[in-house]
Structure 1
Amino acid sequence: MTHNAAPDTLSDGEGARVQREVARLRLLSRLASLAATIRDRGLLLNKVLQQLQEFYAVGSCGIYQLHGPVSPLHLIASLGISPELARELQKVPAGKGLIAKVVKDGTVTSWLDLQQEPQLYCPAILEAGWCSYLAHPLIAHERLLGVIFFSQNRQRQFSLEEIELLGHCCELIAAAIDTVDLVEKLEWQHRLTHASQRELDRSRQQLREHVHRLEESNRSLEQASRMKDRFLSLASHELRTPLTWIMTATEMLETSLPDLPDDSQSLLKTIHKGSNRLNNLVEDLLEMARIEARVIYLARESINLQIFLGDLAGQYAEETLRRRLILEIGSIPEHISPIGDYHHLRQACERILKNALKFTPPGGAIKLEAVHRTSEELRQQQPEMEPFCPEFFCREPLRDHIDVCISDNGVGIAEQDRLQIFDKFHGVGSINLHGKHHHSVEGPSAGLGLPLAKGMIEAHNGMVWVSSPVDYRKGSCFHVLLPLYLPNRPSID
């Protein structure tokens, strides 16, 4: 029995098919190699077009890039196209030209004879001899990146096999373009990050230099402030003794020489009055020094607000009557009391009340009242209050307080002055204008009363702040916050 041997050679048709398949694989391999090794966009696309032009034996070819669905197409690479025609084809508006259908549908499109195409965007291609045209979309991750096109100066019908191979090539090209775009973005981001880091390092160095200069300036200012405080304290102590002699001498002269002429009596009274005023200033300076040095003793006792505000108003009843001012006591909460040193707190509130008397014109009104303020209410007003005493809100937990309000309808305090009035020696008004009906505060004042009040109230773990209506000329309200009296719980450090 005989068997037919299998042929060891391929037929001509099968051999041609194998050769075409090998050529296809070689083309795809070369394109993949180019995409993997070249990161320069222009060089990569030119190399790709060379491979495609040689394989497909076309007269010219090119690649358009699309940056958005309604943006124009830009010719970013081409072969076999004259510079003049390339300039004509450089930019194609959205929806125009042969490839508008490709962009719209995202599918491959071909023309056998461009002479029969009535809606050419660039008639110059006919002058260049273009006849057949094939355009294929470049899609990566379902996003249209651009279009690749072939043109031929004769009629040519591209086969389905050629179009299918071009589809695989376009997948590689689109992936390569997408990768190059990503690499360029990453490189740009890296350069930007590097530049930002250099700028950040430079800013940090400048900041360190500024901080160093500020620290030097602060040390100098602190030293100057300490020297000033020592000088004021020393000067106050040194002035105290001669002032006592002067005041004692004038009192003795007034008592022992009652028959002095009127001019001499007036002169003695002027000396005594000036000495008293200077003595009060010296006492204020010494009080400020004790507060800043934290060497002042504070009693801890429950304060009856009815008695406290009544004493405060009664002390100035005669002056308010003489100056035709109305001084009234408003509502006061019952069954709760602040805690503190009665004598020192009264002095602090007296200073604030004196300030209200100075800046309230005849016929004006001053009101004393107290309000129970919960910790939640204080937190709500923290943005407005905190600039006056940041340390107040650093205490945890924030407790309820008594708010002693001293309000008036006098001159008022402009917003830019509300913090500065509590600075030592900062004047917000001329002493000549006190008690007169002016719409603004002008010129300097002594500048110790309110800082002393602030220092004493903060020594009680409280705070003082000031508010005014939108039209500040309608008066102001000073708020003195004092901790509540809680039996068996210390409230003052």
Structure 2
Amino acid sequence: MPCKKHLQTQTEKLQKEHEDLRRQIEAAQKRFQHIFDHAGDALFFIDPTDGRLLQVNPQGERMLGYSQEEIRRQSLSVLFPGRQMRRYLRLVRRVMRDGYGEEPALQLRRKDGEKLIGAVHARLGQLGEHQIVHGVIRDVTRFRQAENALRRRNRELVLLNEIARNIAGRSGLDELLQTILEDVIAVLEAHGGGIFLVRDEGTTLQLAVHRNISSDVLTDIRNVPPGLGLAGRVAASGHPQGSADVQTDLRLRSHAIRNAGWRGFQAIPLTAQEQTVGVLFLFNHDRRVLNHDERSLLMAIGHQVGTAIQGAELFEALKWQNRLTKASNRELQRSRRKLSDNLTRVQDHNRELKRLERMKSNFMALASHELRTPLTCVISGTQFLRDNLAGRLPPDEVQLFDAVLQGAQRLDTIVRDMLEAARLETNSLYLAREKVDLAVLLRNLGDEFSSVLSQRQLSFDLQPPPHPLELTGDAFHLKRTLSRLMENAVKYTPSGGEIAVHSRLRCFAEVQAERSALAPFSPNFFRDTIGGPLVQITVRDTGIGIQPGEHLRVFDKFYEIGEIDAHSTSRTRFGGKGVGLGLTLVKGMVEAHGGMVWLESCTGQQPGSAFHLLLPVSLDSVMGAAYG
């Protein structure tokens, strides 16, 4: 009985171990399948007997463009074109022999016919009871292409650097051209060649240097008219000419060349400043066509050599100019001393101007702060006296109080504008960041000026945006900015004229297209703005207009100072001038909100001015306008 109980215990223990092993195997299989399915490289299971692809992971399917079933059915000659199949099978045999093998650049063909280069690493392994080859293939096509391009580029750079070194180190033109010709023939493995120079103002090609050309051919080609033969065509057109076999090429004019057995031929222009100054040609005794990279290399050499030829021909002309230059240098030194003195004076003046500008800004800020307190006392005191003594004073004394109060309020407005200008200039003005409904802002603007427009008999056209748009900024300052533009339009538009306020959406690309015209008004806008939707608000009038030469100056501080008699405290009197801060504050406030302002003069039957404000708008409101 104890033996039976012990046996039962052992059986249960074995069953539990078996169940644990089964779960471990299942977990291992899941981990293997997860790694297999999500590996970054292509994984292949290969039949070691014949090299067939038994299984491939999803990355391999994507790399080759085939499905799992298509890969199993596909012939190796299709997947590995030409000699690549033999290289692949040798790799499989090497793995069977050594347990490991690799091919750094094995070519494969995708389902769409495109070829790729794979770096293959393979090991011998087991799949259940069967022996298989595990292969990992990484697509290195771009790496190999870049490596080949780099190798070709290095070869080209070595040759170009050698030519540049020769150009810099040799003074004799014939010796220089002979050295360059020999280097080019050696690198491109040609059998011979030569260099023609353009002479007699472009009427003759003269053979300057040559290599491996027989005397009969030299006699025939020593002087060639441009336009005839392959080299002549290059000189006339400035474009390269080539032939795989000049024996059958109708463009060839020299019978001596045919008799000499030339076949492959390539000629390129030697150019300097887009002018052909010579022709370099190469020939071979067998059929040959230079590829694109070789022709590009020759063209690069042509630019270098052409510049060297032109430089050598200009050398003599520069000799006598050198004597003139020495004489001129003495005069130049005297001019430089004068220029240096003038520059020093200009720098002193600039420093003085900057100092005066700082003094002016400091004065504005100081004056604004110091004037506001007494002005507040004057205004509040005058209002108190007028209100409390109104019933006991004669009308003329009440009018005197009103005049004092009006003057003090006007002065307070000027002081506030000066303080605001100073704060904008020093970036110390507080601006709220709140949502501003543009339609409401424009509607309030129309309500504010309705009585003034009626008194001045001015027609008013207000066109808000067709869809609700939101600005982000300070509603109070934005309203004051638009009010200043309206005041400007009212003051400079005669009675019976027209004022219009329109708005429309614009994208940054549209504004960028007008950068050359708009940048002088606000260079920082195009430097700092990164794009996004914008709204353009235009205040247009049929007033007296502004001369184009004054468009930028009207935004300067105190631009309107002018004659003192022209100044007015009225916001509506036609032609009245202020202190010249209104447009300065408009520009500063718009730029403080990330926008810009510019001016256009209206033309046609109704002259006048148009001020354009450009402000960023909320992207959400623009999307709402597009899909609402």
Distance change in 2, residues 1:69/1:304 (3 Å): closer
Cα distance between partner residues in 2 of 1:244 and 1:191: 80
| 227-236 vs 414-423, which moves further | 227-236
Contact 2:472-2:618 within 8 A present in 1 as well: yes
Aligned to 2:393: 260
Cα distance between partner residues in 2 of 1:435 and 1:269: 19
Which residues in structure 2 correspond to 1:25-424 (within 5 Å)? 185-192=314-321, 212-258=344-390, 259-395=392-528, 397-424=530-557
Which amino acid is the alignment partner of residue 356 of structure 2? A
**Match of 1:303, SS?**
strand
**Match of 2:602, SS?**
coil
CA RMSD between the two structures: 3.8
Distance change in 2, residues 1:366/1:190 (3 Å): farther
Cα distance between partner residues in 1 of 2:312 and 2:516: 49
Contact 1:370-1:404 within 8 A present in 2 as well: yes
Contact 1:421-1:428 within 8 A present in 2 as well: no
TM-superposed deviation, 1:306: 1.1
More strand by share: 2
Cα distance between partner residues in 1 of 2:527 and 2:475: 26
Give unmatched runs, 5+ long, in structure 2: 1-171, 173-198, 204-221, 226-309, 622-628
Which amino acid is the alignment partner of residue 359 of structure 2? M
Which amino acid is the alignment partner of residue 186 of structure 1? F
Contact 2:543-2:607 within 8 A present in 1 as well: yes
TM-superposed deviation, 1:285: 0.8
Cα distance between partner residues in 1 of 2:619 and 2:360: 40
Q: Deviations over 1:48-72 (max 9, x none)?
A: xxxxxxxxxxxxxxxxxx98799xx
Cα distance between partner residues in 2 of 1:69 and 1:306: 72
Cα distance between partner residues in 1 of 2:588 and 2:599: 15
Aligned to 1:177: none
Give unmatched runs, 5+ long, in structure 1: 1-35, 37-65, 71-139, 144-180, 489-493
Aligned to 1:102: none
TM-superposed deviation, 1:376: 2.1
Cα distance between partner residues in 2 of 1:195 and 1:376: 53
TM-superposed deviation, 1:354: 0.7
**Match of 1:480, SS?**
strand
Q: Deviations over 1:363-415 (max 9, x none)?
A: 11111121111122102222221111111111253333111111111111111
Which residues in structure 2 correspond to 1:402-481 (within 5 Å)? 402-427=535-560, 430-431=566-567, 445-470=578-603, 474-481=607-614
TM-superposed deviation, 1:333: 3.7
Cα distance between partner residues in 2 of 1:361 and 1:265: 33
Cα distance between partner residues in 1 of 2:595 and 2:387: 46
Cα distance between partner residues in 2 of 1:427 and 1:311: 28
TM-superposed deviation, 1:336: 3.5
**Match of 1:338, SS?**
strand
- Scaled by the length of structure 2, the TM-score of the pair is 0.45
Cα distance between partner residues in 2 of 1:467 and 1:196: 50
Contact 2:596-2:613 within 8 A present in 1 as well: yes
Contact 1:411-1:473 within 8 A present in 2 as well: no
TM-superposed deviation, 1:349: 1.2
Contact 1:333-1:372 within 8 A present in 2 as well: no
Distance change in 2, residues 1:444/1:142 (3 Å): farther
Aligned to 1:168: none
Distance change in 2, residues 1:304/1:435 (3 Å): closer
By relative contact order (CA 8 Å, sep 6+), the higher-ranking structure is: 1
Distance change in 2, residues 1:407/1:68 (3 Å): closer
Contact 2:529-2:594 within 8 A present in 1 as well: no
- Scaled by the length of structure 1, the TM-score of the pair is 0.57
**Match of 2:543, SS?**
coil
Cα distance between partner residues in 2 of 1:487 and 1:479: 23
Contact 1:412-1:475 within 8 A present in 2 as well: yes
Distance change in 2, residues 1:397/1:184 (3 Å): closer
Contact 2:485-2:539 within 8 A present in 1 as well: yes
Which residues in structure 2 correspond to 1:16-31 (within 5 Å)? none
Contact 2:461-2:499 within 8 A present in 1 as well: yes
Say which of 615, 619, 622 aligns to 1:482: 615
Contact 2:502-2:538 within 8 A present in 1 as well: yes
Distance change in 2, residues 1:428/1:282 (3 Å): closer
Cα distance between partner residues in 1 of 2:499 and 2:426: 34
**Match of 1:366, SS?**
strand
Cα distance between partner residues in 2 of 1:385 and 1:458: 14
Contact 1:362-1:436 within 8 A present in 2 as well: no
TM-superposed deviation, 1:318: 1.0
Q: Percent identity at matched positions?
A: 34
TM-superposed deviation, 1:484: 1.7
Contact 1:368-1:405 within 8 A present in 2 as well: yes
TM-superposed deviation, 1:204: 7.5
Distance change in 2, residues 1:254/1:183 (3 Å): closer
Which amino acid is the alignment partner of residue 460 of structure 1? H
TM-superposed deviation, 1:305: 1.4
TM-superposed deviation, 1:472: 9.9
Structure showing greater Rg:
1
Distance change in 2, residues 1:436/1:263 (3 Å): closer
Distance change in 2, residues 1:383/1:237 (3 Å): same
Cα distance between partner residues in 2 of 1:451 and 1:426: 9
Contact 1:320-1:327 within 8 A present in 2 as well: yes
Aligned to 1:97: none
Which amino acid is the alignment partner of residue 218 of structure 1? N
Q: Deviations over 1:123-149 (max 9, x none)?
A: xxxxxxxxxxxxxxxxx9569xxxxxx
Cα distance between partner residues in 2 of 1:208 and 1:486: 54
TM-superposed deviation, 1:444: 6.1
Which amino acid is the alignment partner of residue 483 of structure 2? E
Which amino acid is the alignment partner of residue 326 of structure 1? S
Cα distance between partner residues in 2 of 1:225 and 1:302: 36
